Amino acid sequence: MNQVAPQHDPRRLIPRTDALLALPEVAAARRRLSADTVVERVRAIQERARRGELPPQEVAAAVIADLTRARASAQTPVLNATGVVVHTNLGRAPLSRAAVSAMVDAAGYVDVELDLESGVRGKRGARTRSALLAACPAAGDALAVNNGAAALVLATTALAAGREVVVSRGELIEIGAGFRLPDLIASTGARLREVGTTNRTHLSDYADAIGPDTGCLLKVHPSNFTVSGFTSAAPVSELAQVARDRGVPLVVDVGSGLLAPDRTLPDEPDAATMLNDGADLVTASGDKLLGGPQAGLVLGRADLVQRLSRHPLARAVRIDKLALAALEATVAGPTAPVVEYLHADPERLRARAQALAAAVDGTVVEHDGRVGGGGAPGVPLPGYAVRLPESIAARLRTGTPSVLPRVHDGFTLIDLRCVPEADDSRLAEAVRAAMRAD
């Protein structure tokens, strides 16, 4: 029915692949992209023209537009205007400049396992270990692995594979995206011995469960929810006493990665306090409240940390050299962005919000930031936001720079807590552009 005589088929007008590849802009893209990637993108645009989605005479321009923008990695930097400090969907902690520069240095050949003085093999991660021990003197030894889940599973596997991990029913948590700690622990062959109830677990529940088959006691910080009302949990100091009396190690998963107490988050457990209270091992994430790269930390008794590092599973959860470098720089370097944002001065936030509101014709409103995926559920971080029409949110996200605001109650809210102050003017420009298109 819709047959077109071949000589009139507009598809014959689609430029040939070799002609498109010869365009100077396309040739220039070869400095950023592989030959296969360039050809694939060119073909995809030709294909759109064949399907009738693009007039043949616009193919060359579309190819140029596409390849001028294309980069080898398409991850887009985002200004986080949500007020959520550890934003899971934005990659958790943004790295400090010191950590970024350490990562760049580590990207090439680097002395990660070499002693440059002697020229012989050095211990991987030795400097990161020293930095962790200096920052958390309560720990006898430290080990960094791939992430928090790996730290926990390495601890329970090395201490309790084929044996029992005694844990409270109130702490059998799901950490997000369907991953459940009990499944994780059981996956490597330790058996969970659940004690107590969802809301109350007593010291005696643990004590009664300890037997010849006990590999370790585990206490998990329920970092993403709170239970209130008729609740009871055994404090680490008392649990540690039971563990010591019965000769079984106590592992505490604090999750957030605080190495020392933070007054802003009084209910958030930290590694130093847990170790001083008698925990034998503490596990934590590197990219939550510590503010570093994705990593898992194991801190505590030297003999146990050694046991973990010698376990075969340690190799499978090994931290990469980039994260090792960034972790060292986070711990030894200047205050990490996460820590700064957490403690942002509300008056400063108000002044910045007022300046932005004036520039974009918005309204300053009080707005609580959040810790986010890092922990401290429900703890408000008092601050301010600029209120704007809801309709601009999508354009903010897809603009340049990309801005992620909070959309709430029919408004777009721009909270500057997690935006570096140096980016305030870029942000204002992005908002103005999104408003103009409204």
Q: Which is nearer to ligand PLP, 141 or 268 (CB)?
A: 268
**What count of other Cβ atoms lies within 10 Å of the Cβ of residue 12?**
10
Kind plus residue range of the DSSP H or E element containing 284: strand 281-285
Smaller CB separation from ligand PLP, 255 or 383: 255
147 touches ligand PLP by CB under 6 A: yes
Q: Which stretch binds ligand PLP (CB under 6 A): 47-55, 144-152, 270-278, 325-333?
A: 144-152
Neighbours of 182 (CB within 10 A): 17
- Report residue 49 as tokens: 């023209």
Q: Does 156 bind ligand PLP (CB under 6 A)?
A: no
Q: 326: buried, middle or exposed (CB in 10 Å: 19+, 13-18, 0-12)?
A: buried
Q: Is 253 in the site for ligand PLP (CB under 6 A)?
A: yes
Cα end-to-end span (Å), the chain = 43
Segment contacting ligand PLP by CB under 6 A, of 60-68, 105-113, 142-150, 209-217: 142-150
- Would you count residue 372 as binding ligand PLP (CB under 6 A)? no
Q: Which one, 67 or 152, has the nearer CB to ligand PLP?
A: 152
Give the C-alpha separation, 438 to 432, whole Å.
Answer: 10
Part of the chain binding ligand PLP (CB under 6 A), chosen from 51-59, 74-82, 141-149, 358-366: 141-149
Distance of closest approach, residue 325 Cβ to ligand PLP, in angstroms: 18
Residues 166-185 that bind ligand PLP (CB under 6 A): 175
- Residue 288 is classified by DSSP as S
Cross-sheet strand order for the sheet of 84-86: 78-81, 402-408, 411-415, 380-389, 363-372, 84-86
Q: Does 221 bind ligand PLP (CB under 6 A)?
A: yes
Q: Distance between CA 94 and CA 225 in Å, rounded?
A: 23
Residue 215 or 255 having the CB closest to ligand PLP: 255
The one segment of 7-15, 215-223, 378-386, 395-403 that binds ligand PLP by CB under 6 A:
215-223
Number of residues that bind ligand PLP (CB under 6 A): 12
Q: Does 285 engage in binding with ligand PLP (CB under 6 A)?
A: yes
- DSSP secondary-structure letter at 73? S
User: Rg of the Cα trace of the chain?
Assistant: 27
Contact 264, 229 (CB under 8 A): no
Q: What angle in degrees, to the nearest 10, is found between the helix axes of 59-69 and 35-50? A: 140
Using CB under 6 A, pick the residue from 59, 149, 290, 298 that binds ligand PLP: 149
Among 148, 292, 300, 383, binds ligand PLP (CB under 6 A): 148
220 sits near ligand PLP (criterion: CB under 6 A): yes
Q: For residue 28, give the amino acid letter.
A: A
Q: What phi, psi does 172 have (nearest 5°)?
A: -85, 80
| Cα–Cα dist 365/378, whole Å | 20
* Phi-psi group of 72: left, alpha or beta (phi > 0 → left; psi -120 to 50 → alpha; rest → beta): alpha
User: What is the nearest approach in angstroms of ligand PLP to the Cβ of residue 25?
Assistant: 42
Write down the least CB distance from residue 147 to ligand PLP, Å. 4
Of the pair 271, 360, the CB lying nearest ligand PLP is at 271
Q: Is 414 in the site for ligand PLP (CB under 6 A)?
A: no
CB of 315 to ligand PLP, least distance (A): 18
Contact footprint for ligand PLP (CB under 6 A): 147-149, 152, 175, 220-221, 223, 253, 255, 285, 296
